[in-house]
Structure 1
């Protein structure tokens, strides 16, 4: 009988000093990026952020804020303030990736411990998959409009899905098509994907500026520009805070995992500071396009369409509908990969490094998104904002722990080699840094009543839900304060080193040039766990 070989499920393991006897904690994609593979320059990062900014969610924020009773002035102010705040955190955590060229799940080990980092990793994984599903749904709506522009009868296709499911047959078909279009891009390496971001950063802005031109050329402004807030007093204040939290929540994930991309940087760490002026400007501009287009749509069609696809679907020109929808499809594709699938892939890869690499992790993320029924989340403006607020509750504390630990507690001194060795200085107690866990729980706890109420409105938590309205800010600052205080009062002395150890120190010490080792570093199979505990100390002493 013919013999069938079992498929080889394990991924490629690196032959590097970081992986010696250590297949449980790293693989080739988790290892620090060597010099010859750092291809992201300033242009790449700017294109990446322009690509991320131009997406339907950014457009929808201002419009959905208006839908709950605030004006366009407040909505733009909220967007600008939110991204001014979050840009600092993105820059701080992104800088760690530039210095140590390792992804978020690995860097998290320094502040959380090897096993403790799973709290942050799993939390971020769930949220990344959630947002991937949301953007896939946004992409499905664009595909539906594109197909409808070519084949109008598609829009009136008989619906065979029960109405209470919140989705029609033609939208489900569109969801599958857009999901399928994403698959080839999910198999690309981040160094290759930067070209996708560059293309998107040219095509999409041109299309959206054209939409802005249509908005001003086709109307005299509309009533929205003269709109006054429909809520006052305390209701106004809480709506402002909850909207601010929702906008921050949109990019709270990148405040945590910016290192997943900055690790590929070939430029100075100082360039991370460009996010502080750049992000508020570009995101506020896109939100303004959303406000202007929504206002024009209200004049023309008599309804406030906070969903851009609902607005575009009203246009008479089939070509205009197609190309406008295409720009949103490209926008959804780019942001779904850059902000969501790659984030989830790095997390899943850290959980199962022997079986998942970046490509496999992205495919797993794409499969999981079907289980989240994203069409339910996007049914209304209120639901959308509630989801985004919930998104930020867990990420604020995680971002705070990582930023405060690197910049304040350890004063920018991490040991890259130790981040890959479970018996190293970052072992803490049983692989868990109780200081980070305690700070995380304290940061999340005040937001739980509001979080529960947002998931199930039938549960009335009264005033206990109030902190949830500014959940990210409360979680970030309270967690950071507690983590720093505990780390100073009960210091983990073994984690404090006299000099930072970067991956280049490790590569140079082992004679590795352009990914080829000319020294005697050994292989992952040659060094067992019993030698690992002593081995990392010897290598560290040699480097220092």
Structure 2
């Protein structure tokens, strides 16, 4: 019997005559499948925040020349900025119950949306691979706590590859354990976030208490001064802001992949604005305190900004095992919440007839092996360079989405037209591309490309051309915003400005699908509570 390659197609109006552009997982979430409430979103974000990258933010910034105060300021300001963008784009998913790739069609056009989709899927797979390395390192420490001789396992891999035989085995074990979670539907994944929220924060707070007990108040990092001054200080501050923004730039566009499951008001997305800066800055402070305590406690020559390096010095094998376990769980949770599901939605949009959410996550996992991510994490500088590169593409994409919905379209989308390429509303041209979005995207990205080439190439010297790259996310977001809004006002696309929003519930109600009552306080679009 031939294998069944095609995925399940829905029977709704969204799929009629357009199977090339949707499948059951890409369709708007019907009312009876919206299970995410306030607790789900809070646990999702707490789960997403508690991961090794957040721990490393401030400590890795210190490693390249700033003090702990500036490091925390970088994290707080960065997340204060990006929280507005996350809330703005997340609200679109909560209102229309559609994922990022479908929302992108409204501003980019059907074929133009592939620019945004491909940009995000490449970066999502990259970051998935990075978290696999973090998870593999945690598994390495766990095994070493149980079987100490594993830490001295013979190595048959060349040193310049950036990984040992034991490290590769640990990476493989983490990947195998993670694999079943790649088959879980996002609606069910919230239970994973609940579990992680119960275990990881309590454990890391305990590490913070340990840090202040063993270091008698903090350690050497808290008396350390910046090693740079003048213009170099300013550029380093901006470069590190871009790195922090880059780490969560993907969430500024893909929040709708989860908010589409919301059963509550889109106003709950505003919770991110106070929540994210506080939570992420606190976790970064834990990283600073623990790294400082580790350097003082174990008389290390350098700051152990990698938490697994810190854990490896603990004398208690039980503490090493459980501490490493929390970081493995942290990597697993954030890989699902921020990376694999995002990549799966993008791969679905590219091949909806053959890829659903489950297959998309599995493909993401397999592709991650080809990226040799352990080389990216070889040093603090490389880690920050990768984060900066991550940011310059997603800042412009997030800007286009936010301004298109909230300002240009006045919160009015025709959900059904977003699934019908024959409908002229979001076609923009005979090629299905909104040239305004493409031009604005290029304006936001191109200035940072010389700096990206120097960062990646190493031997390339672009002189002052590196500066736009050092604040690439902010530059890209602002420049793209101005150009996209200006072009859209000077050269409007009147067919895309619908007089009345068409909600998914309108379509489902006409098909006899029961529409549940929402909460009382809602955002109002065209007189409707959404």
Q: 1:150: which partner in 2?
A: 146
Q: Is 1:368 matched with 2:367?
A: yes
The aligned residue for residue 427 of structure 1 is: 427
Q: Which residue of 2 aligns with 1:255?
A: 252
TM-fit CA distance, 1:511 = 2.0
1:298 equivalent among 288, 291, 295: 295
**Pair 1:192 & 2:184 matched:** no
Q: CA separation in 1, counterparts of 2:498 and 2:229?
A: 54
Partner-residue secondary structure (3-state), 1:513: coil
Distance 1:219 1:407 in 2: 49
1:85-484 mapped onto 2 (5 Å cutoff):
85-220=81-216, 221-303=218-300, 304-424=303-423, 425-429=425-429, 430-484=431-485
Distance 1:200 1:307 in 2: 20
The residue number in structure 2 matching 1:495 is: 496
1:6 and 2:2 aligned: yes
Q: Deviations over 1:151-199 (max 9, x none)?
A: 0000000000001101000000000000111110010111111010011
Following superposition, the deviation at residue 400 of structure 1 comes to: 0.3
State the alpha-carbon separation in 2 of the partners of residues 23 and 413 from structure 1. Answer: 24
Q: Shift of residue 465 of structure 1? A: 1.1
Map Cα deviations across residues 420-441 of structure 1 (whole Å, 9 max, x no partner). Answer: 0001210111210000001001
Cα separation, 2, equivalents of 1:40 and 1:52: 16
Report deviation, 1:514.
7.1
Determine if the alignment matches structure 1 residue 21 to structure 2 residue 20. Answer: no
- Give 3-state SS (helix, strand or coil) of 1:49's partner: helix
Instruction: Output the CA distance in 1 between the equivalents of 2:232 and 2:381.
Output: 15
Q: After superposition, what is the alpha-carbon deviation per residue over 1:306-359, rounded to whole angstroms, capped at 9, x for unaligned?
A: 000000000010000000000011000000010000000000010000000000
SS in 2 for 1:458: coil
Instruction: State yes or no: 1:30 paired with 2:26.
Output: yes
Secondary structure at the residue paired with 1:378? Answer: helix
Which secondary structure does the structure 2 equivalent of 1:364 belong to?
helix
By how many angstroms is 1:222 displaced?
A: 1.4
**Inter-partner Cα distance in structure 1 for 2:120 and 2:222:** 38
Contact 2:138-2:327 within 8 A present in 1 as well: yes
2:99 is equivalent to residue 70 of structure 1: no
Question: Matched residues in 1 for 2:115 and 2:324: separation?
Answer: 39
Q: 2:36 touches 2:263 (CA, 8 Å); kept in 1?
A: yes
The answer on whether the counterparts of 2:505 and 2:515 sit within 8 Å (CA) in structure 1 is no
Rounded Cα–Cα distance in structure 2 between residues aligned with 1:497 and 1:322: 57
Cα distance between partner residues in 2 of 1:277 and 1:67: 28
Q: Separation in 2 of the partners of 1:135 and 1:271? A: 28
Displacement of 1:510 in angstroms is 2.4
Name the structure 2 match of 1:531. Answer: none
> CA RMSD of the aligned region, Å?
0.8
Deviations 1:418-462 (A, max 9, x none): 000001210111210000001001110110100111110111111
Residue equivalent to 1:536: none
Output the TM-score relative to the length of structure 2: 0.96
Could you tell me which residue of structure 2 aligns to residue 527 of structure 1? none
2: distance between equivalents of 1:50 and 1:40? 15
Asked if structure 1 preserves the Cα contact closer than 8 Å seen for 2:111 and 2:433, the reply is yes
Aligned twin of 1:539: none
Q: Is the 8 A contact 2:219 2:289 kept in 1?
A: no
Deviations 1:349-401 (A, max 9, x none): 10000000000000000000000001000000000000000000100000000
Q: In structure 1, the residue corresponding to 2:21 is in which secondary structure?
A: coil
- 1:302 offset after TM fit, Å? 2.3
CA distance in 2, matches of 1:514, 1:195: 25
Cα distance between partner residues in 1 of 2:171 and 2:162: 13
| Aligned residue number for residue 532 of structure 1 | none
Query: CA–CA distance in 2 between the matches of 1:445 and 1:255?
Result: 20
In structure 2, the gaps of 5 or more residues are: 517-530
- The 1-side partners of 2:515 and 2:435 are apart by 39
Q: By how many angstroms is 1:301 displaced? A: 1.7
Size of the aligned set, in residue pairs, is 511
Match of 1:51 in 2: 47
Encode CA deviations 1:495-514: one digit per residue, 9 max, x unaligned.
Answer: 11111111001111222237
Return the alpha-carbon distance in structure 2 between the equivalents of residues 37 and 249 of structure 1.
32
Distance 1:102-1:496 versus aligned 2 partners, 3 A rule: same
